[in-house]
Structure 1
Amino acid sequence: MGEQAEEHYSEDDQGTVILHLYAQEEATPHVEQDVPAHSDKVGSSLKHSTTLTNRQRMNEISVPPATADSLSIHQLAAQGELALLESHLQKDNSLIDAADERGFTCLMWAAAFGETETVRALLASGANPHILAKERESALSLASMGGYTDIVLMLLDKHVDIDIYDWNGGTPLLYAVRANHVKCVEALLAQGADLTTEADSGYTPMDLAVALGHRKVQQVIENHILKLFQNKV
């Protein structure tokens, strides 16, 4: 594919940012290093409160007790407020898989924001890692989008579907490739992620890496393919 892939943002009627990938002739700058999880390039279908948006931008958040008490369980999970979250769950453990208006659970929010210890605690308490949100978003895809390799591996240890697809055909591997998260791509490939899966846009992981100029990711994929061929010989 000779065209460049570009990220295009639009908003639905609720003001939620939705990301699409499409081909465009204009060149996209090459990016050699991992894109930080808080970068606008990562994109997300999550709708954040002001506090969560600041958190994503890596600003220091100091939440007074009165404010913290007013946060929902999903906001607590996203911010890694584990003690407060566990306090809520001790009172009513049925909340552990409760979904918000878009179908996101506490585990999904924690995975999306890279809250490793919160994810670990939720899984230990019985949170279901297989739940899909309203547009088929999964905890694994959200963690892959952010490049949170430790969380990705924790979820895979729970036997989640490594090739789960969402509303636009995006898989965890495709999201990790798109965001240029080299280590996450390596981990997903090592665990058996499918390289042949195409998003609705028609891109395979290799197509996407080439189109976006993610050379390190491209090299990882090429090395993985070579290893697969060598193992067959």
Structure 2
Amino acid sequence: MPVLLWIAAALVAAGVDDLHTAARSGDLKQVQALVGDGVSVNARDSLGGTPLHDAAWSGQRDVAEYLIAHGAEVDARHPDGGATPLHYAVITNRPDVVELLLAHHASVTAIYRTGETPLHLAASRGHVRIAELLIAHGADVNARDSTGATPLEAAAWKGEESMLRLLISKRADPNCANPNSGITPLHAAASRGYVGTAKILLDAGASFSVRDKNGATPLDAALQSRQMEVVNLLIQQRMPARIEKFDLGTALRDAVLRGQTNVVAMLIDHMGPLGSTTLLHDAALKGHVDIILLLLKHQADVNSRNAQGATPLHDAALAGQRAAAEALLENGADPNARDSESGATPLHRAASWGRRDVVELLLAHRADPYIKDNAGHTPLDLAEANSQSDAVEVLKRRP
């Protein structure tokens, strides 16, 4: 008897495997024969899927229709991620199977893996026809997955322009911020450099000024990712009524600090003469010579003062940025300017930190090594106090 039971079990298992194979390949006659022989239409394979999962994945509409007519569970869940046959048909872009499943009341709210609805899956893949079917059957265009993303955000991350137009036409909110990250679809498009996507969102009323959880606007996102076409689009299309919090100055400073010369050039073109600004200080501290020259070309004051009364040359000297210091000196920087905090000159700063190359450069440009700061110290005094032997050697060579 046990042998007979084993044989029977083996035959059943073989029948199940055959049914799944037939469903995947679209062999309707074989499916009909196996079901007629008593193989369950909901029998699970070794991975946990049903024959309807297989038919949906491979787009076998006739097989799927037969299975459903004979009792297949339309919303059967796969143990790997909880996928239903509808999820599979959406992922593999099978609109005819999707239409069939929806006609048999497949759930449009079923969750897959990271909380994605079928519409999320369609949106991120650009399956427009399927999205239309899902929406027509009640799919929520503003539903959120477990990361907080809406279908519109999912489409924006992938630059799916046709999908964006569809979702927006169905009242998806272009300013719907992700509650976890604070990003909007425009942030996503900007960071990926999708110009067409960004334009669609802007035309739909997406905000320039909204900030994510890190305080970044869509422009910041584009700048950080060096997406110049999107940066240009955001600047060109901005309108005063829509940008109360749009801080072009902050964006410019961030670009200076990052050394993004082309971004700086673009932003300056929209701002006019710079005059007194601390942007030169930032560029000098970082050693961005190209940006220093660009700022000076746009009338930035080479001897501008920051809150401590220091000039850009002070910062270049402090950081040991010889090339930056040279660019400033050649454009009129005062080598003997004293800051208001300690009375230090750029030479004091360079000597204190042992910036030998800068010390030599400043001396070559007639920096006075005998000027004393507010505490009565010369640059040599500070170099000796801080054990900066290289700077001491250079300064002691002076007459």
What TM-score comes out, normalization by structure 1 length? 0.64
Query: Are 2:183 and 1:208 aligned?
Result: no
Equivalent pairs counted in the alignment come to 163
Given that 1:113 and 1:146 are in contact with CA atoms closer than 8 Å, whether structure 2 keeps it comes out as no
SS in 1 for 2:204: helix
Q: CA deviation at 1:181?
A: 0.7
Q: CA deviation at 1:134?
A: 5.3
Residue aligning to 1:119: 98
1:99 to 72, 77, 80: 77
1:181-220 aligned at under 5 Å gives the runs: 181-199=160-178, 200-220=180-200
Q: CA deviation at 1:98?
A: 1.0
Q: CA deviation at 1:212?
A: 0.6
Query: Are 2:157 and 1:178 aligned?
Result: yes
Query: Percent of aligned positions with the same letter in both sequences?
Result: 23
1:137 to 97, 116, 123: 116
SS in 1 for 2:174: coil
User: C-alpha distance in 2, partners of 1:64/1:131?
Assistant: 26
Q: CA deviation at 1:74?
A: 1.3
* Greater helix proportion: 2
> Gaps (5+ residues) in structure 2?
1-23, 32-44, 207-399
User: C-alpha distance in 2, partners of 1:118/1:144?
Assistant: 17
User: C-alpha distance in 1, partners of 2:93/2:151?
Assistant: 15
User: C-alpha distance in 2, partners of 1:78/1:214?
Assistant: 30
Given that 2:174 and 2:204 are in contact with CA atoms closer than 8 Å, whether structure 1 keeps it comes out as no
User: C-alpha distance in 2, partners of 1:184/1:64?
Assistant: 30
Query: Are 2:145 and 1:166 aligned?
Result: yes
User: C-alpha distance in 2, partners of 1:85/1:158?
Assistant: 19
SS in 1 for 2:205: helix
Relative distance call for 1:105 and 1:186 in structure 2 (3 A) is: same
Residue aligning to 1:55: none
SS in 2 for 1:127: coil
Q: Give deviations 1:102-149, integer Å, cap 9, x for gaps.
A: 221111111122111111111112222122235321111011111011
Relative distance call for 1:213 and 1:103 in structure 2 (3 A) is: same
> Gaps (5+ residues) in structure 1?
1-61, 227-233
User: C-alpha distance in 2, partners of 1:86/1:170?
Assistant: 33
* Greater strand proportion: 1
SS in 1 for 2:55: helix
Relative distance call for 1:64 and 1:88 in structure 2 (3 A) is: closer
What TM-score comes out, normalization by structure 2 length? 0.38
Q: Give deviations 1:170-195, integer Å, cap 9, x for gaps.
A: 21001111111100001101111112
SS in 2 for 1:96: coil
Given that 2:86 and 2:118 are in contact with CA atoms closer than 8 Å, whether structure 1 keeps it comes out as yes
Higher relative contact order (CA 8 A, sep 6+): 1
Residue aligning to 2:52: 73
User: C-alpha distance in 1, partners of 2:161/2:74?
Assistant: 32
- Which ranges of 4 or more aligned residues in structure 1 deviate by more than 6 Å? none
Q: CA deviation at 1:75?
A: 2.5
User: C-alpha distance in 2, partners of 1:221/1:133?
Assistant: 27
